[in-house]
Chain A
Amino acid sequence: MSLPEMSALFPTLQEVIFVLFALLIAVTSLIAAMAPNLFHNALGLVATLFGIAGIYFMLEAEFVGVSQILVYIGAIATLITFAIMLTRGMMFGRTSAMNRQGLAGAIISGLFFVVLLGIVFQVPWPNVVADITDGEALIANLGALFVSTYLLPFELLALLLLVALTGALLLARDR
């Protein structure tokens, strides 16, 4: 920062962008979790996923951000939308969208949030952040890691996808 005094007074551009993304994610994840209409949930999820991709770009994890958009929004969100349409009788709730444990669920997730926040704010996080000088090298390195240190998990992932593919066919194929 060339103007330290200024930056102390005003939020930096980065902080402004973060707050915007955070607000987007907060609102849309609430919609995804709570809206009574299933289709609104799915749309909320898509918006949340976009917001989270933005967070990854802010954290300079571009590759993860792109994967998020391709896999999550491109595949998972689409799949969910398809499932909603295939089971469309349930789209407009004739009865309540919540089960009988609504209150207990709210208490548990509320408590969980408080505990997590407690940990997050209690832990003395170090405030040193290394700058990323060569982002391209980092991505190249990521690719190399997948075929060296993480070769076994990478191959296992192929196996997992084979299982998912075979299984989805086995279950959903027309008789």
Chain B
Amino acid sequence: METTLDLSTLNLAVVLPELTLIVFAILVMAADVFATPKNPAPRQWTPWIALAGVVAAAIVNLSVSGREVTLFQGAAILDKFAVGLNYIILLATGLGILLSVKYIPRINKQVGEYYALTLLTATGMMMMGAALDLITLFLALEIFSLALYILSGLNRTSPRSTEAAIKYFLLGAFSSAFFAYGGALIYAGTGTTQYYGIAQVTAAGLANTPLLYAGIALLVAGFGFKVSLVPFHSWTPDVYQGAPTPVTAFMSVGTKAAAFAAFFRVMLVALPFSYGAWSMPLALLAVITMAVGNFAALQQRSLKRMLAYSSIAHAGYILTALAGGAAEGADAALFYLFTYAFMNIGAFAVVMALEEMGAEDAMQDRAKGLGKTHPIMAFLMAIFMFGLSGMPPLAGFYGKVLLFEAAVAGGMIWLAIAAVAFTAVGAVYYLRVIANMYFADPVDESADEVNRSLPLDVGLAIAVAGTILVGVFPGFWMNAFQQSMALFGG
């Protein structure tokens, strides 16, 4: 058999936003080379070059949207879903860079590599949503995971940062072994690694069912690690607490968005005909995840760990939409992750501002009396907390409604009810932060200045604007990303 190179199928538009980011990552590295101890200016430009890259990629993303094209007989696809995910990742990356400008040079002098790796991480995350083949998916997963292990350990002199990185790495590599095994079994069961091919074989009833189901189980475990579902969540609080805060902020949204996007696409595009086998296990996983995440968050004294457990709970909410199995679930998850990017990065930005210079972790006590000492910070934090708890009219509310609607559309009314109940539990710990800020006295009067800088203020402004505006006007996003995923045969 001769394989010929057919360039007509080489449709570069599919990966154009990713390519833009790669070009700018190389520019960042190149600028870094020109920095010398005498002339450190090029190194100080690197965050702005990286930010320019994010903006450029967003413009490219806008210019390629509205098409639906696949690359190379289905290694990757650009549909509305991929475009939407690209926006979310770019938003998280941009906000992450704004948070980093002042913070990162304090912990590691090699800022050029940091920004280059951030852009490459974003590239991998965007590929997750575009992948249409298990091999592409696995590589995209590894690119962003490896980069994140490194970024978590960026603070090389900090025992906590390196500990977080090694734990993240070992559990992540462990989970990718399961992921690879799952992919291998699905390949064995269907004879292909392409999503459409898998769907075709299973639709025709030709798949080897035991192998396919074992493969699905291992794949779900692999995804479970990445989006931090219980019982695969144990790394999350440690890494969120130990990693440098801007990295945590970027990672908490980026990883979740990318891994969930790929998770939805694999389940809804490649494996819709095995729905009967995976819907109930996923629903149970969602319930356990929401329960453990919310109840553990109640007990945290560290703000970062509280946000880590709350992010586990949010993974549970998003999973309810997937367990429903309806195509609207993908749209709902995309919208939810979009709002989550604003709220969660905003919350981390406030936490970062609260961290004292030397300390690496802000405790709940640090928020006490903030309403009196720093009214603006307290007000912003209150908005993010209300948003995360799902209070109308902020962004989190409509997103949750859509997610639970998708669960109901899939016939899982009990799951939606459970999710609503857990949302109520979640409100307790978000509101407690607000109560601490406004009704408690400052523990330490000398808890003086918060660490603010202009880029951080810009980031906070974007985050708070998004949290409010997307909540009030959800239509602009929802209309643009309806029926976003190119389903098999659809």
Contact = CB atoms under 8 A, between A and B. Distances in A.
Interface residues of B, number: 44
Interface string A45-89: 000000000000000000000000000000000000000000000
B16 interface: no
Given A152-B72, A167-B117, A160 B143 contact: yes
B139 A156 contact: yes
B140 A123 contact: no
Contacts of B5: 144, 147-148
A171 interface: yes
A98 interface: no
A148 B3 CA distance: 8
Contacts of A141: 1-3
Given A153-B75, A163-B146, A170 B4 contact: no
A160 B10 CA distance: 21
Interface residues of A, number: 29
A103 B287 CA distance: 29
A148 B7 CA distance: 9
B405 interface: no
B238 interface: no
A150 interface: yes
Interface in A116-175: 119, 122-123, 137, 141, 144-145, 147-153, 156-157, 159-160, 162-164, 166-171, 173, 175
B147 interface: yes
Contacts of A119: 210-211, 214
A156 B6 contact: no
A153 B74 CA distance: 12
B160 to A, nearest CB: 15
Contact of A152 (B71, B143, B210, B214): B71
A162 B142 CA distance: 12
Contacts of A148: 3-6, 72
B146 A171 contact: no
Contacts of A145: 3
Interface in B121-143: 121, 123-124, 127, 133, 135-136, 139-140, 142-143
Given A148-B3, A159-B22, A167 B210 contact: no
B123 A160 contact: no
A171 B108 CA distance: 10
Contact of B136 (A156, A163, A170, A175): A156
Interface string B8-45: 00100001000000100000010000000000000000
A163 B117 contact: yes
B75 A149 contact: yes
A119 B110 CA distance: 50
B150 interface: yes
A163 B143 contact: yes
Contacts of B142: 160
A163 B147 contact: yes
Interface string B100-130: 0000000010100110110011011001000
Q: Which 4 A-B pairs have the closest CB atoms?
A: A167-B150, A144-B3, A156-B139, A152-B75
Interface of B: 1-6, 10, 15, 22, 29, 71-73, 75-76, 108, 110, 113-114, 116-117, 120-121, 123-124, 127, 133, 135-136, 139-140, 142-143, 146-147, 149-150, 153-154, 156, 208, 210-211, 214
30 contacts: A122-B210, A123-B210, A137-B1, A141-B3, A144-B3, A144-B5, A145-B3, A148-B3, A148-B4, A149-B72, A149-B73, A150-B135, A152-B15, A152-B75, A153-B75, A153-B133, A153-B135, A153-B136, A156-B127, A156-B143, A159-B22, A159-B123, A159-B124, A159-B143, A160-B139, A162-B120, A163-B121, A166-B113, A170-B154, A175-B156
Interface of A: 119, 122-123, 137, 141, 144-145, 147-153, 156-157, 159-160, 162-164, 166-171, 173, 175
